[in-house]
Structure formats: structure tokens, C-alpha cells
Amino acid sequence: MSLIEKLTPEQEALIPVYREKWRAIALSTERIDREKAAEVLKATYTTIGKQQPEIIFCESPYAGLKIILKKRNNKLNWHNIKLNNKLIKYIFHIFPNLTNKNLETSYQLDTQVINQLTILRRDFIIFEYSLKEKLKLKIQPQINLNHLWLKSEYLASNCCWIDFYVSVLNCSYSKMRWETLQSLSRFCGWISPFEKFCIICDRPLHLRFDNENRLHAEGEPAIEFTDGYSLYSYHGVTLAEKYGKIHPQQWQSQWLLTEGNTELRRVLIQGIGYARICQELQAIELDTWQEYTLLKIDADVDEEAIYLLKMTCPSTSFIHALRVPPNMNSAREAIRWVNWGIDPEEFAVQT
């Protein structure tokens, strides 16, 4: 295949079409057709030279792992991970003419084209579940529980760019392997394949996002399965249930004093807001200038002391607080920093 230096306008226009097509499949919350899913999995086992397995359906990854543990007498090993790898090797080796591990290099795509096509796999939700912690499992440390699953959204993200290569760039491919990969993505949820049995997990009941396509919900799960297993998230950051089930307006500043995770403290600060943190944690007043006050919170809330510029609107008395660098010595200096170095007296009208 000759070097593709630039996509045609028609090809470029198809990028978002293929992306949205497969992203909709990745984020589907429709119940799977169990009969069709079982048919697809049994056929897949046959194609990789394995006997058809016992198909077991479950409502969530949590329920699925409990089944796996029971089947394995509470002793996880690498057998299904090896089967996962064999399955992945089969379904993803769709392009027979590869000369190396890099698809783009093998099909001679210009760097500009490669960069254009990265959007094909963007915003496909790839999430992890804290199953080990929830089940309080004692498992061999070298085993990652997430490796037990072949995730539907991972399959869909790969289908997206492969579909574009096959359908738009006309790359030669294995029809049987491509059909297998598409079927697994379209008709199955998460799957965990073992030698003699295969777990198929149904899709989530609900998926909730913010306007930047990050997992997000306030006071309710961002991911929720029909059996009640849930994941809480705040703008893409996974939350413990004790935070996630409560609306951010009801989060307590005192939680910052005991939360050891830096990222979660950042999320709590964002959700609670500096104005309420100032009031509830009794910030120390360092300096004032007109309606501005420089404050400091000495409590062990963040990695370093928090310095805030508190601003009170003269007409509405609304209080707003903005974090400033810890080297600020006066309210006016903090105002200059907020206003990109301009002294407050230089403003004809103060806001």
C-alpha cells in the first residue's frame, strides 16, 4: 500500500461518523440479547480451537467476580488471562499484511494522517472497578482483577479505527476475524473467558457524564447496574460511596482534614468551594483592602497551606473566594496577581 499523505475531504468528514457510530455501541445501556450473546461466544471459542464453554450471565462485574471465585474455589490463577490473550490475539489480528507491530507504520500513513485519526478512539469510556476492595479479597498480588475481563467499550474503541481502516482506507483484512470482533462488541457486555466456562456481564443500567464526556454524577452513581452495583464519579474522578451518594452541596469541609488522597481532596475542595471552606474551617485573616481579604487556612487540608483572596460584592454581599499563591503578603498583592499584575487602583471601576 502506498503512503497516505493526506485524507481526502470525504474521508476526513467520515471520522466523526465512525467515531459516533462505535461510541454509541460502547456506551449502550440496552439489555443484551442473551441468546445472541451466547451464540457469539460459543462461535468465538470454536474459531480459536476451544470447546464450547458453559455460558453464565450476570448483572454486574461484581456479581461476575463472585461467580468466578466460587468456580475457582477462591483461588484465581492465570488460566483465563492466557485465554484472554489468545482471544485478543485472534480477534485483533485482522490485518494479514502487517510487517510490524505498528498498524500505522505498516500501512504507511503520514504522521499528519495518524494525528487526524487519533480522535477515532477518544472518549470511549474505559473504566475500572474497585472489585478487590469491595469484596475484601486476599488475592495473589500479581493478578490484576481487571485483566479478568474483556471489556465491551475496549472492543468498541478498537472496532472504531479498524472499521475506518477497512471501510474508508480499503485496507485488506480477515473477514472472519473482523466479523468476530464486531459481534463481540455489538452483542456482548463485559466477558470473562475461561477454558470451560465464560461469564457474560450485562451492560450498565445507567451511565452519566458531564459536558466533557467524563463520568460524573452528583448524589447518585455515575455507573449503575441492575443488581445495584455502582460506581460514583465526579468529573472523571472515582469517588468513594461515602462521598458519591451525597450531593456536593452537602459535602463537609471537615472531611478535608481526614482524607489522605490528594486527588480526592482536590475534588472535595472543588465541590465544596473555597467560600464555604473559609467559613467552616475558620480561615485566618491576614490582610484586608476595601472589600478584599487575604485569608490563610493552616489546617491540614491540602499539601501546603491554602491562601485565599476573599471578595465580597458591595451590592449583594455575595462572598467569592479564589485561591492565590502562598507567597502573597497582602490583599492588594493578591488582587494584582488575580488581575494579571494590574494594581486595583488602576481600575476606574471596581467589580
pLDDT (0 to 100) of residue 245: 94
Per-residue pLDDT of the chain (351 residues; tens, 9 = 90+): 566 778 889 999 999 999 999 999 999 999 999 999 999 999 999 988 889 999 999 999 889 888 887 876 655 555 566 677 778 888 778 776 544 445 444 456 667 777 777 877 777 876 665 554 455 444 444 455 666 788 888 899 989 989 998 899 888 888 999 999 999 999 999 998 888 889 999 999 999 999 988 899 999 999 999 999 999 999 988 898 999 999 999 999 888 777 878 788 888 888 998 778 888 887 888 999 888 889 888 766 667 778 888 887 777 766 677 788 988 889 999 998 988 877 777 654 444
All three cell numbers of 77: 490463577
127-134: long-range contacts at Cβ-Cβ below 8 A with a sequence spacing of 24 or more? 127/153, 127/215, 127/223, 127/231, 128/238, 129/61, 129/62, 129/231, 130/238, 131/61, 131/62, 131/65, 134/62
Cβ–Cβ under 8 Å, residues 192 and 99: no
> Cell 462485574 sits at which residue?
61
Cβ–Cβ under 8 Å, residues 67 and 197: no
pLDDT (0 to 100) of residue 341: 79
pLDDT (0 to 100) of residue 261: 81
pLDDT (0 to 100) of residue 61: 87
pTM: 0.75
pLDDT (0 to 100) of residue 98: 47
Cβ–Cβ under 8 Å, residues 118 and 15: no
pLDDT (0 to 100) of residue 100: 41
C-alpha distances (whole Å) from 30 to each of 33, 147, 188, 206, 225 are 9, 24, 11, 9, 11
Secondary structure string (H, E, C) spanning the chain: CCCECCCCHHHHHHHHHHHHHHHHHHCCCCCCCHHHHHHHHHHHHHHCCCCCCEEEEECCHHHHHHHHHHHCCCCCCCHHHHHHHHHHHHHHCCCCCCCCCCHHHHCCECHHHHHHHHHHHCCCCCCCCCHHHHHCCCCCCCCCHHHHCECHHHHHHHHHHHHHHHHCCCCCCCHHHHHHHHHHHHHCCEEEECCCEEEEECCCCEECECCCCCECCCCCCCEECCCCCEEEEECCEEECHHHHCCCHHHCCHHHHHCCCCHHHHHHHHHHHCHHHHHHHCCCEEEEEECCEEEEEECCCCCCCCEEEEEEECCCCCCEEEEEECCCCCCHHHHHHHHCCCCCHHHCCCCC
All three cell numbers of 30: 440496552
